[in-house]
């Protein structure tokens, strides 16, 4: 009988050890080894110590003890910062638009005493319902200096960035029932480190904390390697990899491009993926996050699905791609946000896919088409950003176009035959109303593509939206179907249809009228539009309405005639 009870005990022990909720029961992640080099304490704004708060040096993660204190055996040859993973219901102080959740070792009040850094953090308790909040997601403002050659073709990128900051600030002011946070998904500047000042001025103009992601163009091209290339970003904005909790969500910010030298010894090339140190930190960070917690993952480059249908960013060919995909797939829900490709793309894996819990959200360039900074991007999405409203674990989003154009173009501009709004005194109006978030699609009449179809570009479409329909005044409603991606042969012989007609008008004009762009292979058409639809229109003269309902029950429509 004694042997029987011992057997039951060991079975129960094995079962309990085999269950992995994602939380280290000792509160230490992967235990750091070595001499303690950092100590600290965390208080709330009432002067009370805060236990069970996660603190990291960018590699190791630990929790504060019951007295609010923590210790880190940080490798001071690698650690540059120590930061608090802000717990739900609390936030760090905000200074000029930047959350003060970190301390830079060796600067300010982060100095060594007897060879050990002694740190103190204070967190502020959020008043009201902390589970309700809004996140403003923008990507790739990517300004150049006004004197740069590629900034004197269309519109000045700094002016377009200023319009974006103004629009985001005004939008946030309309959100009065919940906190607002911002995330800029990388390419904050364009290889000009002096423009970090303009970026800092931009986020300082906002009345909410903005979190920044490093992009490939945010690295110093004169640096020798990936780590030193990020020096300007880190000096101005802190850690490249960090996390925080807001409401019921755990938010992770990752540097997922590994910079390397090109043929001219400039730090411009990159590989996809996570370095070994970042991968180690991500594992340690998530050891404190229960698998039932939904995640928001923010990176510059998409970490999963692409508009082309490729999953290569999470493949074994991407450094630690298969590792992070496997780890994130264990969590309840993952919303993966990115920029980089300058086009809008939203994708939901189905229940039979390898990552059924992951949604892909790629944000278009907030300042319009690259090189020319025109009113739309290569996929037809206008200048703008995405507003994400969260209530508990319910997440909804919508595209918000920037309603301002504060500058005039450097030279001649297209006729804008297919732009369906007008600028009056620098403000966009559509059908007599200021451009707002009701602008979620653009329709093209029969003949716009040289055929007998009506086309519609639905900027934020994903497979959970309703059907896109065209209702003709001459009678009948037709379900529009996706335009398939053009083949290489169709693109070559000019029969491709998977493009945005308004962008083609802009592209053709600048390609023809600007010698710099005429010889630039980087200035190109996009033929991967997973949100372009069409239907046959029999009548040679007609009028009708394109209607679609998004996944959240909001209906959008626009009229078109020919």
pLDDT for 500-550, tens place per residue?
999 999 999 999 999 889 888 889 999 999 999 999 999 999 999 999 999
CA distances (Å), 32 to each of 71, 74, 170, 558, in order?
10, 8, 46, 58
- Look at residue 33 in the predicted model and tell me its pLDDT: 66
Distance CA 10, CA 2 (A): 13
CATH-assigned architecture of domain 440-561:
Sandwich (2.60)
229: DSSP letter: H
- pLDDT over threshold 70, residue 141: yes
Q: b/e for 298-329, b at 16 or more Cβ within 10 A?
A: bbbbbbbbbbeeebebbeeebbbbebbbeebb
- Domain extent listing, the chain: 2-83+100-124, 132-401, 440-561
pLDDT in tens, 407-430: 999 999 999 999 999 999 999 999
- Look at residue 521 in the predicted model and tell me its pLDDT: 84
Confidence of residue 34 (pLDDT cuts 50, 70, 90): confident
- pLDDT over threshold 80, residue 32: no
| CATH entry 3.60.21.10 includes domain 132-401 | yes
- Look at residue 437 in the predicted model and tell me its pLDDT: 97
pLDDT in tens, 427-457: 999 999 999 999 999 999 999 999 999 999 9
- pLDDT over threshold 70, residue 24: no
- pLDDT over threshold 50, residue 7: no
Distance CA 456, CA 500 (A): 9
CATH number assigned to the domain with residue range 2-83+100-124, chosen from the 4 options 1.10.3470, 2.60.40, 3.40.50, 1.10.3210:
2.60.40
pLDDT in tens, 297-319: 999 999 999 998 888 888 878 99
Are 363 and 337 in contact by the 8 Å Cβ rule? The answer is yes
Distance CA 555, CA 34 (A): 59
Nearest to 241 by CA among 266, 219, 212: 212
- pLDDT over threshold 70, residue 5: no
Q: Do 132-401 and 440-561 show the same overall fold?
A: no
Distance CA 183, CA 395 (A): 16
Confidence of residue 2 (pLDDT cuts 50, 70, 90): very low
H or E segment to which residue 55 belongs: strand 54-56
Are 92 and 84 in contact by the 8 Å Cβ rule? The answer is yes
Residue 5's Cβ-count burial label (10 Å; 0-12, 13-18, 19+) is exposed
- pLDDT over threshold 70, residue 14: no
Q: pTM, whole model, 2 decimals? A: 0.93
């Amino acid at each position: 009988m004694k042997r029987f009870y011992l057997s039951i005990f060991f079975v129960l022990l094995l079962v309990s050890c085999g269950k992995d909720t994602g939380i280290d029961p000792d509160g230490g992640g992967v235990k750091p080894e070595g001499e303690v080099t950092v100590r600290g304490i965390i208080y709330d704004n009432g002067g009370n110590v805060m236990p069970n708060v996660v603190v990291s040096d960018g590699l190791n993660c630990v929790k504060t003890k019951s007295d609010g204190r923590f210790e880190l055996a940080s490798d001071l040859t690698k650690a540059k910062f120590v930061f608090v993973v802000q717990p739900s219901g609390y936030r760090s102080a905000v200074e000029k638009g930047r959350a003060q959740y970190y301390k830079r070792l060796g600067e300010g009040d982060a100095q060594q005493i007897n060879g050990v850094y002694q740190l103190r953090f204070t967190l502020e308790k959020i008043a009201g319902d902390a589970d309700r909040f809004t996140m403003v997601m923008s990507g790739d403002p990517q300004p150049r200096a006004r004197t740069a050659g590629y900034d004197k073709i269309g519109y000045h990128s700094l002016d377009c960035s200023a319009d974006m900051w103004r629009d985001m600030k005004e939008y946030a002011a309309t959100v009065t029932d919940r906190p607002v946070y911002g995330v800029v998904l990388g390419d904050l500047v364009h290889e000009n480190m002096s423009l970090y000042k303009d970026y800092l001025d931009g986020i300082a103009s906002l009345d909410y904390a903005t979190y920044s992601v490093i992009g490939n163009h945010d690295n110093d091209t004169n640096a020798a390697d990936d780590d030193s290339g990020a020096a300007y970003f880190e000096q101005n904005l802190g850690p490249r990899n960090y996390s925080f909790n807001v409401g019921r969500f755990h938010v992770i910010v990752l540097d997922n491009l590994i910079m390397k030298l090109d043929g001219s010894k400039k730090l411009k090339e990159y590989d996809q993926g996570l370095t070994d140190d970042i991968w180690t930190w991500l594992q340690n960070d998530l050891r404190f996050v229960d698998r039932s917690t939904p995640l928001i993952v923010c990176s510059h480059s998409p970490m999963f699905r692409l508009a082309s249908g490729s999953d290569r960013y999470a493949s074994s060919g991407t450094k630690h791609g298969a590792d992070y995909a496997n780890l994130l797939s264990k969590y309840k829900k993952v919303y993966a946000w990115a920029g980089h490709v300058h086009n809008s793309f939203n994708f939901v894996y189905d229940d039979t896919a390898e990552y059924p819990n992951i949604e892909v959200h790629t944000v278009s360039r907030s300042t319009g088409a690259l090189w020319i900074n025109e009113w739309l991007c290569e996929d037809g999405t206008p200048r703008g950003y995405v507003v994400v409203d969260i209530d508990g674990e319910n997440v909804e989003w919508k595209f918000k176009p920037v309603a301002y154009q504060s500058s005039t173009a450097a030279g001649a501009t297209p006729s804008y035959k297919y732009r369906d709004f007008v600028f009056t005194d620098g403000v966009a109006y559509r059908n007599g109303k200021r451009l707002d978030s009701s602008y979620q699609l653009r329709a093209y009449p029969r003949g716009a593509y040289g055929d007998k179809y009506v086309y519609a570009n639905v900027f934020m479409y994903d497979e959970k939206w309703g059907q896109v329909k065209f209702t003709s005044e001459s009678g009948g409603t037709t379900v529009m179907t996706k335009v398939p991606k053009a083949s290489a042969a169709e693109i070559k012989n000019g029969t491709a249809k998977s493009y945005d007609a308004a962008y083609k008008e802009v592209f053709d004009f600048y390609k023809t009228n600007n010698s710099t762009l005429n010889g630039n292979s980087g200035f190109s058409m996009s033929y991967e539009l997973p949100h372009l639809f069409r239907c046959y229109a029999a009548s040679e003269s007609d009028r009708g309405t394109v209607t679609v309902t998004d996944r959240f029950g909001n209906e959008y429509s626009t009229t078109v005639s020919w």
